[in-house]
Amino acid sequence: MEVVKVEYTVREDYIETNKENIKAVIEELKSLGDKGVKYFVSNQGNKFIHFAIFQNKEATNIVPNLESFKKFREQLKTGAKTPPVSEDLELVDSSFPFFN
């Protein structure tokens, strides 16, 4: 299992565009029918936190290869107030299975 957290802030005038781009990524993930990715996002004003849990190392390649994610990443270059900072997290334990 791979877990990644990404944090960044965007300009006030870019918040809605960022939300739309995130929604497009999620919709493309859903359309794949792959159950190996769990993706969360927290919107705190202009601060965004993305949290992704991948079933395995191979699954980490799914999101970066999505056309919607490529568009999201490219547009974020102009909309970001602070650049994305990525952090790999380690699952210590769980009382329930993440993937069935």
Residues 6+ apart with CB under 8 A from 26: 39
| Count of CB atoms situated within 10 Å of the CB of 76 | 19
Query: Quick one: pLDDT at residue 100?
Result: 64
Confidence of residue 91 (pLDDT cuts 50, 70, 90): confident
Query: Quick one: pLDDT at residue 31?
Result: 94
Give the start-to-end residue ranges of the domains of the chain: 2-89
Pick the CATH number of 2-89 from 3.30.565.10, 3.30.1340.30, 1.10.1580.10, 3.30.70.100: 3.30.70.100
What are the pLDDT digits (tens) for 34-60?
776 777 777 788 999 988 888 888 888
What are the pLDDT digits (tens) for 64-89?
999 999 999 999 999 999 999 999 99
Higher-pLDDT residue of 13 and 94 is 13
